[in-house]
Amino acid sequence: MKKIIHNLHSPAYSLVIKTALQNWWLIAINLLTNVLSAFLEGSTLGVIYLAVAYLTSVGESGKDTKTYSGILQTLSAVLPLPPEQMFLGLIGMALLLQIFLSLSNYANKVSTAYLSAKAQPYVTGKVFEQIMTFSYTCVSQYKVGDLVLFANDAALAVERQIDELNKIIVGLSFSLIYLVLIVRLSPTLAAAAALLTLLVVCVQYKIIPRLRRVVKRATATQVESAKYITESIQALRLLHTFGTQKVTLTEADKFLNKIQEELQKRAFIFYLPEPILDTLPILALAILATSAVVLKGEGATILPMLLTFLLALQRLSTRLKMTANAIIRFVDNSARMLRLETILNPYDKSFEHSGTKAFIGLNKDIEFHSVSLSYTGNSVLALQDLTFKIPLNRVTALVGESGAGKSSIIDLLMGLYQPTDGKILVNDLTLADYSLEEWRQYVGVVSQDTFIFNDSIIENLRYGRPDANRDDVIEATKAAQAHEFILALPDGYETILGERGYRLSGGQKQRLALARALIKKPDILILDEATSALDSESEKFIQQALDKFQKNRTVIVVAHRLSTIANADQILVLERGRIIEQGTHTSLLRQGGRYARYWQLQSSKVAA
């Protein structure tokens, strides 16, 4: 019981319960129809018993040969009909009750389905919202395939849990009615039903723990397989480039074979109750036949009792089997709910920090004060005690070897990570004080890793500014040297680019990314190797466009090709997370330090 209560307080079940409470009228209909169906089921069997009892208690002359029960006497007094008509009338009443029972069952299932239909998108939306609100540090720890599975499996897990729980409640309600009827008919015969119920409980008690362990392992294996296959599909270009398709298939086969093994174990346990539950009614009927012989001294009254008992027992065994199967499926689905719990549980997650201050534009220098950053939260620092300014409406370039800290500075400026120590001031307030959503509207980013949506070119370009008109889009694409190649595509700006823009070259993707950033008309433009995939001529034209665009804007450039930043107002040279040199291109060359050596190396390569 404690475990059940604990589960109900878990985030996954709490979401389902919250949805249920928001739709209390569906719950009310469900409970009402459940009670009504159980009552109608019992009434139907009662009327059938009366019909058979009435017919067998009247002789061929139409006169009583046995003493009526109280109900039969009252019924005969109210409706003094011939025996045949009375019997048909009672059968008709049983049929009418069965029709109402069917309608009640239908309403019960529809209300359950409506509740499930509301809970599924609600929970899926909450899972997606949870993923979207994770900090970048937190979400980057997951594989893409894993996150996709979390979002997709949520609906299935909730639907099954609601459906099976309803079947369990309905099955137990009906079983209780049948047990009451059977006990009322004959306490001696009820022993058969009690034995049947006891055996069903024993079967469940033995099987459920084993099933829970098996489905947990099977679900974990399926998740790992899905993550591996998703990643492999995303890396198809790399697979073809390295010729590792066979190796990938071999690895996938290992996962799939393990899934097969776990699912076979699951099948063995999952379907084990069925032959047992199918045999139990026959055993009960054998006990019933023996009891009938023992009770034959009761005379003619034994016939209606036996017929009604037989019908009730048959329905009881069916309901018990349905309930047992529903419990098995409920437990089988518990692994999915447990997995859903792992993504919804907030205790081991970090969420994106966002302030509340409105940001309406940059009007002062951006200042770093003793800023340090550790991605892992330990003593390993990606940035160490950085203090510098990014001048307003000027170009600042970041230079250094891979791992020097250039991308870490960009990550901090975008709010993807928070400083481990120190602070970043924007308009004399810490960056953490501002709404990140508003801050990012004023920042345009062009990086080497350009993501392209499987949508039209124009919608990809408008991503950062959906209200941009066509003239704004064309102006930006011309500046980014993208207009001509777009027009050369089959449908121009309406061309669908395919998954991750596979129809475009690396240089074309980078030009689209640059145009997408320019359309935003941001106050701050971040260029992270923005022209690395372009040829020299295209780079020259884009550099000219950027020179024009950079006026009255704050620009941060990350570059390995030093020729692209020679005109920068400020160059910061980084090494192992520290600034080791700072100045203009000319002043840094005069210093003869690390920057001068980089320049000499690149110049000698060009000359060679």
* pLDDT tens, residue by residue, 33-76: 888 887 887 788 777 777 776 666 654 444 443 434 556 666 66
Q: Which residue has the higher pLDDT, 122 or 589?
A: 589
Q: What is the reported pLDDT for 297?
A: 46
What is the token pair recorded at 128? 């997606």
| Report for 107-121, 181-195, 400-414, 546-560: range of highest mean pLDDT | 400-414
Residue 379 pLDDT greater than 80, yes or no: no
Residue 570 pLDDT greater than 90, yes or no: yes
Per-residue pLDDT band for 377 (boundaries 50, 70, 90) equals low
Given a contact cutoff of 8 angstroms between Cβ atoms, the answer to whether 336 and 2 are in contact is: no
What value does the mean pLDDT take over residues 523-529? 86
Q: Report the distance separating Cα 498 and Cα 479, nearest Å.
A: 24
Per-residue pLDDT band for 288 (boundaries 50, 70, 90) equals low
pTM of the model: 0.66
Percent over 90 (pLDDT), the chain: 11
What value does the mean pLDDT take over residues 280-286? 61
12-17: which pairs have CB atoms within 8 A and are 24 or more residues apart? 12/123, 12/157, 12/337, 12/340, 12/341, 12/344, 13/337, 15/119, 15/122, 15/123, 15/126, 15/344, 16/119, 16/123, 16/158, 16/161, 16/162
What value does the mean pLDDT take over residues 418-428? 91
Give the domains, in start order, of the chain with CATH numbers. Answer: 16-344 (1.20.1560.10), 366-607 (3.40.50.300)
Q: Report the distance separating Cα 517 and Cα 524, nearest Å.
A: 10
Q: What is the reported pLDDT for 64?
A: 43
User: What b-and-e string marks burial along 593-608, b requiring 16 or more CB atoms within 10 Å of the CB?
Assistant: ebbeebbeeeeeeeee
The helix/strand/coil state of 10 is: coil
Residue 599 pLDDT greater than 70, yes or no: yes
Residue 391 pLDDT greater than 90, yes or no: yes
What value does the mean pLDDT take over residues 246-270? 78
Residue 277 pLDDT greater than 80, yes or no: no
Q: Report the distance separating Cα 191 and Cα 195, nearest Å.
A: 6
Q: What is the reported pLDDT for 392?
A: 92
Looking at residue 222, its amino acid is Q
Mean pLDDT score across all residues of the chain? 78
Which candidate, 331, 218, 332, 328, places its Cα nearest to that of 265?
A: 218
Residue 265 pLDDT greater than 70, yes or no: yes
Per-residue pLDDT band for 423 (boundaries 50, 70, 90) equals very high
What is the token pair recorded at 332? 């089988």
Q: What is the reported pLDDT for 369?
A: 94
Q: Report the distance separating Cα 322 and Cα 315, nearest Å.
A: 10
Among 293-297, 304-308, 414-418, 528-532, the minimum mean pLDDT is found in 293-297
Given a contact cutoff of 8 angstroms between Cβ atoms, the answer to whether 513 and 482 are in contact is: no
Given a contact cutoff of 8 angstroms between Cβ atoms, the answer to whether 357 and 429 are in contact is: yes
Q: What is the reported pLDDT for 19?
A: 77
Q: What is the reported pLDDT for 299?
A: 44
What is the token pair recorded at 180? 């009451």
Percent over 70 (pLDDT), the chain: 77
What is the token pair recorded at 413? 């400026």
Q: What is the reported pLDDT for 533?
A: 58
Quick: pLDDT tens for 294-339: 655 444 455 556 666 666 666 776 777 777 777 777 877 777 787 7
In the sheet that holds 429-430, the strands lie side by side as 383-390, 366-373, 421-426, 429-430
Residue ranges of alpha helices (H) inside 271-383 are 273-294, 302-332, 334-344
Which candidate, 287, 323, 63, 75, places its Cα nearest to that of 189?
A: 287
Q: Which residue has the higher pLDDT, 600 or 279?
A: 600
The helix/strand/coil state of 184 is: helix
Which candidate, 330, 418, 349, 415, places its Cα nearest to that of 150?
A: 349
What is the token pair recorded at 181? 């009827």
